[in-house]
Each structure stands twice: as C-alpha cells, then as structure tokens.
C-alpha cells in the first residue's frame, strides 16, 4: 500500500506518522525537562484534547497574577523534527506538554526531575472506532476504507503508536508513582466535577466550587467542538502529534459508540485477542465500555 509507505514509518517496531521524525525520536532523552513541567499522556484518540482544555481552564481560573496561573500549552512533544526541542526550550514555564508516547519512550528527565504526569485511558473499543474515523479524515494518515481492515490492524498493533494494551502496560509500571495520576475517560464523562477536583488536588491548585462548575461548562464536548470550528488552524495550538487541524479532532466524544461498529463476530475476535492481556493489567481491567 503506497499510502502506508509514504505516511507511516517504524521506530523500534512501532508505527509512527511521518509528522513525527526519526531524528526527534532518537533524541528524546536529550530533551531538557523542567521540574514544573506537567506532561499529559494518552494513547491516540483517548481524550487528550478534552483533558488539555480542562487543564487550561483549571489554570486560567486560578490566574490572579500569580505563578500558579501562568501556563503555556505546547504542541505535542513528538510533533515535528528536532527544532521542536528548541521551540519548547524558548517557552516560559509552566509548560503543559502533551504526548502519545509510551512510558519507555518518555524523555528520561521527566522521570528524574519528578515531573507531574497525567495519563488518561479510554476503553479500547471506542478508541479503535475513533481512530478508524480519524484515519479516514486525516490526510496525514493512510486512508483505510473498511472498518474490518482497520480493526485487524488495531488488534495487531499496526496502527500509529502500536498496541493499545502495550501502551497501557508500559505506563502501568508507574502506577504507584505519586507524581503520576491515572484517569479514565468514561469515569470523567460520568462525573467531571469530581475529577476536576482530583486533578486540581494533584497539581496543588486551589479552586472553588463555582470555578469547578465553570471549568466543567467550558470543557463540554459541544462547546469545545464549536470553538474548534471557529478557530483558524494553528500548529502552535494543536496538541495532536498527527495533525495541526483542530477540525479533525472532534467527532462524537461518546462512550459506547463501538456498539454501532463492532459485529458480534468482531467483538468475539476482540475478546479472544485482548481479554487475557486486559485481565492481567490492573489499569486495563478498570476500563468501562458503556
């Protein structure tokens, strides 16, 4: 498939979009982290933009001319070439840095400097469906016409960033680290105020009930989608390593949409391949599917 060859390359056995350069991936451990960096991590199509919007609103509501409220949301750490490191070096603190990298590939200084990291997990069935539509709409990714073809690729870890379960398990090593917060997309959908409080506590940000309610309102999927439709494309303000077009980011943001795509046979195929691995992972076992 020529499109696959042109738009995808492999690094350490993991597929990456060519928007992520090999040179940058090779140089990740030379990245200079700061102790006050906050790293926002997810497998693709797991709620990264939603989380960053929550984070921005959380910091901004606390922006009373104090240091806590000053924050710079960067584009994805791995989006681009080596010049990205110079770009990030010139940004003021505090930096919110999104990434889809596995724990094994995260720059070592994020770990040694004990940076705060937030990892958001979405159920893999909805993730697969969302990625399928993203592949179809994003000109920087190969266009996979058939859902069944894409699902096979997803289950084999042949999509960008590789296997969902491998990604989750790479971060599971960090689950007892007090500097890492794990969040579940589905749980956040059910009770966002609770998780805004949890995030603010993790980041030592003081917010009132009124501010929490305002953050929840501003971070609704409909409001974010409407805002994205009005904005001009700006590579400085996308948090995706796969596109600079915000209009491609938002589709449904729903929980349980997988039921509209998976046949009973495909669901059985998924369970056969993923069930044992998910059951062996404490993080993956807690995922909700509806």
Q: Which are the catalytic amino acids?
A: 100
Enumerate the β-bridge partners of residue 118. 40, 181
- What angle, rounded to 10 degrees, do the helices at 164-172 and 264-279 form? 20
- Please give, one letter per residue, the 3-state secondary structure of 80-129: ECCHHHHHHHCCCCCEEEEECCCHHHCCHHHHHCCCEEEEEECCHHHHHH
Q: Are strands 116-121 and 180-184 parallel, antiparallel or unpaired?
A: parallel
| DSSP letters spanning 42-54 | ESTTSSHHHHHHH
Region class of 33: left (phi > 0), else alpha (psi between -120 and 50), else beta: beta
Tokens 């709409």 correspond to what residue? 137
**Residue 56 C-beta-side C-alpha neighbours within 13 Å:** 17
Neighbours of 285 (CB within 10 A): 9
Specify the 3-state DSSP secondary structure of 181.
strand
Q: CA 284 to CA 277: how far, in whole Å? A: 8
Rounded to 5 degrees, what are φ and ψ at 62?
-105, 15
User: Cβ(43)–Cβ(167) under 8 Å?
Assistant: yes
């Amino acid at each position: 498939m020529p499109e696959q060859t042109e738009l995808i390359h492999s690094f350490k056995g993991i597929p990456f979009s060519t928007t992520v350069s090999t040179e940058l991936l090779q140089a990740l451990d030379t990245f200079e982290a700061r102790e006050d960096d906050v790293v926002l991590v997810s497998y693709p199509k797991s709620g990264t933009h939603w989380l960053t919007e929550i984070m921005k609103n959380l910091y901004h509501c606390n922006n009373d001319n104090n240091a806590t409220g000053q924050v710079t949301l960067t584009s994805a750490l791995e989006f681009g070439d080596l010049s990205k490191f110079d770009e990030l070096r010139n940004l003021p603190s505090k930096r919110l840095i999104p990434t889809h990298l596995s724990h094994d590939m995260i720059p070592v200084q994020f770990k040694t400097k004990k940076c705060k990291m937030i990892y958001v997990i979405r159920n893999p069935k909805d993730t697969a469906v969302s990625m399928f539509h993203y592949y179809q709409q994003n000109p920087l990714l190969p266009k996979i016409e058939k859902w069944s073809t894409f699902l096979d690729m997803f289950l084999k870890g042949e999509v960008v960033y590789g296997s969902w379960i491998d990604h989750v398990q790479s971060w599971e090593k960090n689950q007892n680290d007090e500097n890492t917060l794990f969040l579940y997309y589905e749980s956040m959908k059910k009770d966002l105020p609770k998780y805004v409080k949890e995030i603010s506590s993790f980041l030592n940000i003081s917010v009132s009930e009124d501010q929490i309610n305002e953050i929840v309102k501003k971070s609704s999927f409909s409001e974010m989608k409407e805002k994205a439709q009005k904005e001009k494309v700006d590579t400085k303000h996308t948090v995706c390593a796969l596109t600079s077009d915000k209009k491609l980011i938002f589709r449904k943001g729903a929980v349980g949409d997988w039921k509209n795509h998976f046949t009973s046979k495909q669901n059985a195929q998924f369970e056969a391949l993923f069930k044992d691995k998910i059951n062996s992972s404490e993080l993956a076992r807690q995922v909700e599917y509806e």
